[in-house]
């Protein structure tokens, strides 16, 4: 997207605000719409099927207990695809903003693909609200083993992603994998490992929630960037409402316009192309300081 495709009055108004003394604290809430520009499926709506399996049905503790091999094949595919993908300009823009020390900034990502980290986002200013595909946890109740950054691909020979091609029209069942073909805990040696993501029916990690709440409540958030996610789904809606109630502004970056929202800046289109244009004045500040140093 070229700059002229964004309404000039919208861009001017937004640039005037983010460069004013009234914009000192920015919160970014990121969803799957940002990573879709890197070629990763969102697994939502009409795209919510992997092969002929409903992806939501695979993302539950019950599904893992019932057929851990099937669930691991799904997540091995996702791990492989995320490793093959590259951070796009939207990820890189937010990462650069995290290094702008003139702005009090935090990104809350609902994505589990690790692309924000690979874009060199400041880890102190990044919360993975739904966990990560590359975190592994032991399912043994008596074992607390966790590996926060395991990028081995495949995790076992039976989970080679070359046999797990994403094909919406493929109705062939995947092979049954017994437990001995799946990743096991190196600590207790008996428990199966599982992906360190938040499944449906599970609570969000309290450490991430507390850090988010602390940032919002201890600071006056002047602006929340809603990037590639719906502003009506929880927890997005709650964070947006809190910022609004604090008197903060909202900027939405998405592929669809919300005609009921007349108060927010709305940037419609590919997030990876719109974010760099919209946040350019703040990124220029980072580049200038880098050259001076």
3-state secondary structure of 108: strand
Query: Which two three-digit tokens encode residue 151?
Result: 């990028």
Question: Is beta strand 25-30 parallel, antiparallel or unpaired with respect to 104-109?
Answer: parallel
Query: Are the C-beta atoms of 256 and 31 separated by less than 8 Å?
Result: no
* Catalytic site includes residue 220: no
What does the DSSP 8-state code read for residue 197? E
H or E element at residue 251: strand 249-254
What does the DSSP 8-state code read for residue 157? G
CA distance 153 to 146: 18
Q: In 3D, which of 26, 78, 66 has the Cα closest to residue 226?
A: 26
- Selected catalytic residue, list 130, 166, 184, 220: 130
Query: Which two three-digit tokens encode residue 258?
Result: 């919300």
Q: In 3D, which of 291, 277, 290, 293 has the Cα closest to residue 93?
A: 277
Question: Is beta strand 25-30 parallel, antiparallel or unpaired with respect to 223-227?
Answer: parallel
Residues making up the chain, counted from first to last? 293
Give CA torsion, residues 274, 278, 279, 285, to 10 deg. 120
3-state secondary structure of 247: coil
Query: Which two three-digit tokens encode residue 19?
Result: 């460069």
What amino acid positions are annotated as catalytic residues? 130
């Amino acid at each position: 997207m070229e700059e002229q495709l964004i309404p000039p009055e919208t861009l001017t108004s937004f640039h005037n605000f983010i460069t004013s003394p009234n914009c000192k604290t920015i919160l970014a809430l990121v969803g799957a719409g940002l990573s879709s520009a890197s070629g990763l499926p969102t697994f939502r709506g009409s795209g919510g099927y992997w092969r002929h399996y409903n992806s939501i049905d695979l993302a539950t503790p019950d599904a893992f207990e019932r057929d851990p091999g099937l669930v691991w094949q799904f997540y091995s595919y996702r791990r492989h695809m995320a490793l093959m993908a590259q951070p796009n300009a939207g990820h890189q823009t937010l990462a650069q903003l995290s290094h702008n020390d003139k702005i009090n900034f935090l990104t809350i990502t609902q994505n589990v693909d690790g692309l924000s980290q690979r874009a060199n986002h400041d880890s102190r200013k990044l919360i993975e609200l739904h966990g990560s595909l590359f975190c592994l946890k032991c399912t043994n109740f008596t074992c607390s083993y966790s590996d926060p950054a395991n990028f081995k691909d495949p995790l076992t020979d039976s989970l080679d992603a070359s046999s797990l091609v994403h094909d919406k029209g493929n109705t062939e069942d995947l092979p049954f994998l017994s437990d001995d073909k799946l990743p096991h805990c190196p600590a207790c040696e008996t428990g199966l490992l599982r992906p360190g993501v938040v499944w449906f029916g599970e609570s969000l990690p309290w450490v991430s929630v507390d850090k988010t709440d602390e940032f919002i409540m201890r600071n006056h958030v002047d602006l929340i960037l809603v990037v590639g996610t719906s502003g009506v789904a929880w927890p997005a809606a709650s964070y947006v409402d809190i910022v609004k109630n604090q008197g903060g502004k909202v900027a939405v970056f998405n592929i669809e316009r919300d005609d009921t929202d007349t108060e927010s800046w709305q940037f419609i289109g590919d997030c990876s192309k719109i974010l760099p244009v919209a946040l350019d004045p703040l990124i220029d500040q980072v580049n200038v300081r880098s050259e001076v140093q």
